[in-house]
């Protein structure tokens, strides 16, 4: 069993690294000044990759929840549901750290007058997202006493992520309002257009 856990951990790590590399084009511009167009592509690609990982977690949770509801015995529906929620929140925190926060850092700083402020806006949002998820995790009942209580465990993390998605789009609007050049870079980026089309 421990062997399988190690394999899954390694596979998960490879997936996270691959997602991050794809989002930033394999570049690490941490602390460096880059063209605004490159920065916009990288930060929007990073957010898109992170949201894709969250979608994968959600879909896996749905499959696991269905399997738990079909269970007539064993550890019990509520316990299986509880484990799934804890695992999902842990994975969401990991994705936020390794893909969102790391990707936004690796994107660098756009070479515009307000570039540093723009970078900080998005990185602050990412850090707030992680903090919200950790708060949500602390609100999850350790031992739900019923199926309804177990499903109630979904509320804090789902609420945290929904608010984060809305705050993220607001952060991009704030970036665009800083400087016409940054607004143009975001508007012209294919990654940003695809991201903004998927309005939360």
Q: What is the mean pLDDT of the chain?
A: 82
Q: What are phi and psi of 41, to 5 degrees?
A: -60, -45
Q: Which of 98-102, 121-125, 152-156 has the lowest mean pLDDT?
A: 152-156
pLDDT at 10: 37
- Average the pLDDT over 100-116 and give the result: 97
Q: What are phi and psi of 146, to 5 degrees?
A: -155, 170
Q: What are phi and psi of 185, to 5 degrees?
A: -60, -45
What is d(CA 111, CA 60) in angstroms, rounded to the nearest whole number? Answer: 40
Q: Which structural domain, as residue segments, surrounds residue 74?
A: 2-197
Residue 97 carries which DSSP code?
I
Residue 34 carries which DSSP code?
E
- Give the number of C-alpha atoms closer than 13 A to the C-alpha of residue 195, restricted to the C-beta side: 29
pLDDT at 6: 32
pLDDT at 8: 35
Query: How far from 42 is each of 4, 60, 104, 127, 185, CA to CA, in Å?
Result: 34, 27, 8, 18, 11
pLDDT per residue over 10-33, tens digit each? 334 444 444 444 444 568 999 999
What pairs with residue 110 in β-bridges? Answer: 34
**CA 122 to chain centroid:** 13
To which residue do tokens 């690294």 refer?
17
CB neighbour burial string for 72-91, b if at least 16 within 10 angstroms, e if fewer: eeeebbbebbbebbeebbeb
pLDDT per residue over 50-91, tens digit each? 999 999 998 887 776 544 444 444 454 544 444 478 888 999
Q: Which of 45-49, 84-88, 161-165 has the lowest mean pLDDT?
A: 84-88
pTM of the model: 0.78
In 41-199 the beta strands, taken as DSSP E runs, fall at 109-110
pLDDT at 106: 98
pLDDT at 150: 75
Domain count, the chain: 1
CB 82 within 8 A of CB 150: yes
CB 93 within 8 A of CB 137: yes
């Amino acid at each position: 069993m421990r062997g399988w856990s190690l394999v899954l951990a390694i596979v998960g790590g490879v997936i996270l690294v691959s997602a991050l590399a794809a989002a930033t084009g394999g570049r690490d511009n941490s602390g460096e000044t880059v063209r605004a167009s490159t920065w916009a592509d990288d930060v929007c690609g990073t957010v898109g990759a992170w949201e894709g990982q969250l979608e994968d977690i959600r879909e896996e949770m749905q499959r696991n929840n269905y399997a738990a509801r079909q269970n007539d015995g064993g550890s019990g529906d509520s316990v299986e549901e509880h484990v799934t929620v804890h695992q999902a929140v842990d994975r969401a925190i990991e994705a936020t750290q390794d893909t969102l926060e790391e990707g936004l850092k690796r994107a660098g700083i756009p070479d515009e007058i307000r570039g540093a402020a723009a970078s900080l806006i998005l990185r602050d949002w990412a850090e707030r997202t992680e903090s919200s998820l950790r708060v949500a995790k602390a609100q999850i009942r350790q031992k739900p006493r019923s199926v309804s209580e177990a499903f109630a465990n979904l509320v804090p993390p789902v609420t945290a992520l929904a608010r984060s998605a809305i705050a993220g789009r607001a952060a991009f609007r704030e970036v665009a309002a800083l400087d016409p050049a940054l607004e143009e870079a975001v508007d012209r980026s294919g990654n940003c257009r695809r991201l903004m089309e998927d309005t939360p």
